[in-house]
Copies of this chain bind each other. A is one copy, B any other.
Amino acid sequence: MTAKDLKDCHKRIKSNIHRTPVMTSRLLNTMSGADLFFKCENFQRMGAFKMRGAMNAILQLSDQQKSKGVVTHSSGNFAQALSLAAQNLGITAYIVMPSNAPKVKKEAVKGYGGHIIECPPTQKDRESTAIRVQLEKGATYIHPSNQLEVILGQGTAALELLEDYPDLEYIFAPVGGGGLIAGTALAAYFYGKNCTIIGGEPFEVDDAYRALKSGKLEMNETTHTIADGLRMPLGDVNFPIIKKYVSEIIRVEEKEIIDAMQLIWERMKIIIEPSCAVPFAALLRKKERFKNKKIGIILSGGNVDLSNLPF
């Protein structure tokens, strides 16, 4: 993968995504002691950065593949992203979702034109159902985070951020399935000036933190975190990139996530989802180390259930 691949990816998806704004806050700068630049992917189409990767993956399919549609299994933002990206390009998206997925998530997918295929709520059933759809419909499987096209797509958020602020010294991003942090790290490697990448991860699902220590993929025993977008473990495609280009992962407590989320809601007046607050929480946890630094923070998404808030 080269710097040109990333630029080409950005050119490819540009007209189908928003160039999201970068926001600053005097007050949060004072609180953190650093100069913060928030890349607002909560304002991205369908409310999260996932739109970038989904769009890039679909746009590279052959006409033959496009005619048969795409399939993924996800009950989160990627389900919506793939649905909307597919709808925009006039192709079919099959979304495998566990039968117990929240109604609001199902409605969102339907709202973006996705075809939901329900399965029993186990990882094994999700995978086997997705394979069945590939076989029966000829649809192409797109992974939410562990696929190069998706990783590159997610990296365009940091690419835009670095175009706007080329001299950032750090970029913080959340670590879930690993697509965003891997793409961010590539963008900073190709286009940053000594820009260090730091991941934020909940203690409750710290497989990436442990994987960087052990040098091999790790699993999460449980996934009891409010950051529902970060429950997936890393994959074999993004892990080598993360190992090479991510400098460190800072873990945070659940309370720190909620506090950081509330700070951003109250002070910046924008809506972010819990997963999205994790990198800012990580920065606040270690703020003495980042005094006076110029720091980009990827605010990954803003899809929350307003009737079920943690504060």
User: Which of A21, A268, A272 has most B Cβ within 10 Å?
Assistant: A268
Pairwise interchain contact A311-B302, C-beta atoms closer than 8 A? no
Q: Which residue of B21, B47, B265, B307 is within 8 Å of A271 (Cβ)?
A: B265
A266 to B262, CA, bound (A): 16
Closest CB of chain B to A167's CB: distance in Å? 23
Given contacts A269-B47, A271-B271, contact A307 B311 (CB under 8 A): yes
Pairwise interchain contact A306-B311, C-beta atoms closer than 8 A? yes
Pairwise interchain contact B271-A306, C-beta atoms closer than 8 A? no
Pairwise interchain contact A43-B306, C-beta atoms closer than 8 A? no
Q: For residue A271, which residue of chain B has the nearest CB?
A: B269
Is there a chain B Cβ closer than 8 Å to A42's Cβ?
A: yes
Closest CB of chain B to A55's CB: distance in Å? 15
Residues of chain B lying within 8 A (CB to CB) of residue A272: 269
Q: How many copies does the complex hold?
A: 2
Q: Which residue of B43, B262, B306 is within 8 Å of A265 (Cβ)?
A: B306
Question: What 1/0 mask marks residues of chain A from 283 to 311 whose CB sits below 8 Å from any chain B CB?
Answer: 00000000000000000001000110101
Q: For residue A25, which residue of chain B has the nearest CB?
A: B43
Give the size category of A's interface with B: 10 to 19
Q: Which residue of B21, B47, B265, B306 is within 8 Å of A21 (Cβ)?
A: B21
Is there a chain B Cβ closer than 8 Å to A219's Cβ?
A: no
Pairwise interchain contact A266-B309, C-beta atoms closer than 8 A? no
Closest CB of chain B to A218's CB: distance in Å? 33
Residues of chain B lying within 8 A (CB to CB) of residue A266: 306
Q: For residue A47, which residue of chain B has the nearest CB?
A: B269
Closest CB of chain B to A44's CB: distance in Å? 9
Q: Which residue of B42, B262, B270, B306 is within 8 Å of A309 (Cβ)?
A: B306
Pairwise interchain contact A302-B269, C-beta atoms closer than 8 A? yes
Near B by CB (< 8 A), chain A positions 48-64 give none
Q: Which residue of B262, B270, B311 is within 8 Å of A270 (Cβ)?
A: B270
A47 to B25, CA, bound (A): 12
A266 to B309, CA, bound (A): 13
A309 to B306, CA, bound (A): 9
Residues of chain B lying within 8 A (CB to CB) of residue A268: 43
Closest CB of chain B to A70's CB: distance in Å? 23
Residues of chain B lying within 8 A (CB to CB) of residue A262: 306
Q: Identify the A interface with B (CB < 8 A).
A: 21, 42-43, 47, 262, 265-266, 268-272, 302, 306-307, 309, 311
Give 5 CB contacts A-B under 8 Å. Answer: A265-B271, A265-B306, A269-B272, A306-B311, A309-B309
